[in-house]
Structure 1
């Protein structure tokens, strides 16, 4: 997980921010059991389309298909897991921190059939509760890359994101802190 953060930060030319960024992280792990959503519209949806609010999600799908990622043109692309592989998704916190240079994809989980069981292990990085201000480094803001998101407290954003108001908007991050 740390290596992925390092690769991203280096790709943005922000090596000087690595230590402070890594010191601001907390880690989460969850075991997900997917089953047919009762509100499914006939496509065996187990997890509706959404974006992750965190920095990064690393999904260990155990060779089970079902994760789909929405392309910019609206087409749903199936993730094809390989043996001993992981799927890495960027979340909204990293999108805001990178001033929009990183893309947080919309994704969903589908089952092959109504009775299929699907399990996955999901590792995530989130801001530490005592250091949860998300703010783009000044090096990523210039005349060609205007500030896209005002600095915000991550856990306040998560409360908004999962509120009735946050669920009603198309882009919760933009609605919450967009410039």
Structure 2
């Protein structure tokens, strides 16, 4: 269970490319962190530091554009939730608007992809700004982080007693989103929540950030700092792995407090394919979980639609209807059990 932790473990995953004993050690370390905390730092991932440096440079170039140019790529203009997210667009379950801007993208599929043509709300092409090399550099980073995610998904499978390739057939074109997030300098900031407390909706998240601000809720409902570590990812378990494991892995609630300094944050939300049914593995059924079954993409989109203003407007006017199985925000994780923290 989620313990009274005061720090987040650092796990070197380079052993996943080593011999059987080295792999087993990494798997055990990842599994322990997933079961007891739901958060971990990972090092030894093998990504060249230049990938992050180049992506950060291009991100700064984009957010330095005039607001009119950024709004030409407004996410509400897309049919598959891709593009620019202005300040105030997102409202989490706490009701406060987030003081940040973002650019959201995912696997860049062609406009003739059959699922996109059929109206899938999360699959298809990205919107791209007219910045030389932006698309190429961001795509290189996306592909590299996604490959690290594949390694982790395989390791988590083994930690759950499955084969290493147990989830490979469910990773053909997942709606795994990368967000480029910018928190502007805010000299009036007080030490209060920025992003409202929430769990992530997918299997897990791989995060790089340029400054502190992220906080994680422990089993006592207390908030623990999770500052960035050089060339390390912060990884946290999401709703889908909590459900698959029957609650054995923990989707730990987290938030971003308001900080004065300018901050960039880059989460890659690692998901299974849109139509994959997620339910507890045999023998791990758990009636305490908020649901016993969900469709990966439907859950992801239903949670997203309850956060983004443009989607909530479509819900209000009836042009968008959520699946009957949709859950309320913050149904998973510690925050659902400590709602007043």
Q: TM-score range by the shorter chain?
A: 0.7 to 0.9
RMSD over aligned Cα, in angstroms? 2.8
Correspondent of 1:90 among 229, 237, 254: 237
- In the TM superposition, what are the counterparts of 1:95-114 in structure 2 within 5 Å? 95-113=242-260
Note if contact 1:68-1:110 (Cα within 8 Å) is conserved in structure 2: yes
Matching of residue 55 in structure 1 with residue 203 in structure 2: yes
Normalising by structure 1, we get a TM-score of 0.75
The structure richer in strand per residue is 1
Structure 2, unaligned runs of 5 or more? 1-148, 307-311, 313-326, 334-341
Structure 1, unaligned runs of 5 or more? 174-179
Correspondent of 1:6 among 143, 154, 159: 154
Correspondent of 1:30 among 156, 160, 179: 179
Matching of residue 128 in structure 1 with residue 273 in structure 2: yes
Correspondent of 2:292 among 128, 150, 170: 150
Q: Give, in angstroms, the shift of residue 43 of structure 1.
A: 2.6
The structure with the larger Rg is 2
SS of match in other structure, 1:48: strand
Q: Give, in angstroms, the shift of residue 91 of structure 1.
A: 0.4
| CA separation of 1:139 and 1:14: change in aligned 2, threshold 3 A | farther
Note if contact 2:154-2:167 (Cα within 8 Å) is conserved in structure 1: no
Match of 2:215 in 1: 68
The structure richer in helix per residue is 2
Q: Give, in angstroms, the shift of residue 146 of structure 1.
A: 6.3
Q: Aligned residues, how many?
A: 160
Note if contact 2:154-2:166 (Cα within 8 Å) is conserved in structure 1: no
Alpha-carbon distance in structure 2 between the residues aligned to 1:59 and 1:108: 13
Structure 1 runs of 4+ aligned residues shifted over 3 Å read: 145-149, 158-165
Q: Give, in angstroms, the shift of residue 132 of structure 1.
A: 2.3
